[in-house]
Amino acid sequence: MSGTHPPSLARIQSFAFSGIEAVPVTVEVQISSGLPSFLVVGMADKAVGEARERVRAALASMGLALPAKRILVNLTPADLPKEGAHFDVPIALGLLVAMGIIPSESIIDYAAIGEVSLDGKLNPVNGVLCAALGAAILEMGLICPKAQGIEARWGHPDIDVLAADSLLALLAHFRGEQVLAPVPEPQGYEPDYGPDLADVKGMELGRRVLEITAAGGHSLLMSGPPGAGKSMLASRLPGILPDLTREEMLETSQIHSISGLLEAGRLIVRPPYRAPHHSASLPALIGGGAKARPGEVSLAHNGVLFLDELPEFSRACLEALRQPLETGTVSIARAARHATYPARFQFIAAMNPCRCGYLGDNERACHKAPRCATEYTSRISGPMLDRIDLRVEIKPLSPIEISRAPKGENSETVRKRVCKARDRQLKRQGMCNALASPENFALEEEAQTLAEQAAERMRLSNRGITRLFRVARTIADLAGAESVRRQDIAEALSYRLREP
Ligand X SMILES: Nc1ncnc2c1ncn2[C@@H]1O[C@H](COP(=O)(O)OP(=O)(O)OP(=O)(O)O)[C@@H](O)[C@H]1O
Q: Point out which residues bind Mg ion (CB under 5 A).
A: 231
CB of 406 to ligand X, least distance (A): 11
Contact of 273 with 244, CB cutoff 8 Å? no
Residue among 26 and 231 whose Cβ is closer to Mg ion: 231
406 preceded by a cis bond (ω within 30 of 0):
no
Contact of 73 with 39, CB cutoff 8 Å? yes
In the set 31, 200, 268, 305, which binds ligand X (CB under 6 A)? Answer: 200
CB of 201 to ligand X, least distance (A): 4
CB of 349 to Mg ion, least distance (A): 11
- Residue 228 near ligand X by CB under 6 A: yes
Residue 226 interacts with, from Mg ion, ligand X, none (CB under 5-8 Å by kind): ligand X
Q: Report the C-alpha gap between 111 and 14 in whole angstroms.
A: 5
Stretch that binds ligand X, among 48-56, 168-176, 200-208, 490-498 (CB under 6 A): 200-208
Q: Report the C-alpha gap between 494 and 482 in whole angstroms.
A: 22
Residue 170 interacts with, from Mg ion, ligand X, none (CB under 5-8 Å by kind): none
CA 349 from chain centre, in angstroms, equals 18
Give the CA dihedral 1, 65, 144, 79, nearest 10 degrees: -120
Residue among 93 and 397 whose Cβ is closer to Mg ion: 397
| Among 234, 262, 233, 236, residue whose Cα is nearest residue 250 | 262
Q: Report the C-alpha gap between 485 and 448 in whole angstroms.
A: 9
Residue among 70 and 395 whose Cβ is closer to ligand X: 395
Q: Report the C-alpha gap between 385 and 68 in whole angstroms.
A: 67
- Residue 227 near ligand X by CB under 6 A: yes
Strands (DSSP E) contained in 33-138 are 37-41, 70-76, 110-112, 115-116, 122-123
CB of 492 to ligand X, least distance (A): 23
In the set 173, 230, 422, 485, which binds ligand X (CB under 6 A)? Answer: 230
Q: What is the DSSP letter of 386?
A: T
- Chain positions 390 to 449 lying near ligand X, rule: CB under 6 A, are 397, 402
In the set 67, 195, 202, 360, which binds ligand X (CB under 6 A)? Answer: 202
CB of 199 to ligand X, least distance (A): 6
Rounded alpha-carbon distances, angstroms, from residue 60 to 66, 145, 463, 490? 8, 20, 65, 75
In the set 130, 203, 210, 489, which binds ligand X (CB under 6 A)? Answer: 203
Is 83 exposed, middle or buried, given 0-12, 13-18 or 19+ CB atoms closer than 10 A? middle
- Residue 23 near ligand X by CB under 6 A: no
CB of 222 to ligand X, least distance (A): 8
- Residue 349 near ligand X by CB under 6 A: no
Residue among 14 and 223 whose Cβ is closer to ligand X: 223
Residue among 252 and 411 whose Cβ is closer to ligand X: 411
Q: What is the DSSP letter of 14?
A: E
The residues that touch ligand X, with contacts defined as CB under 6 A, are 200-203, 224, 226-232, 350, 352, 397, 402
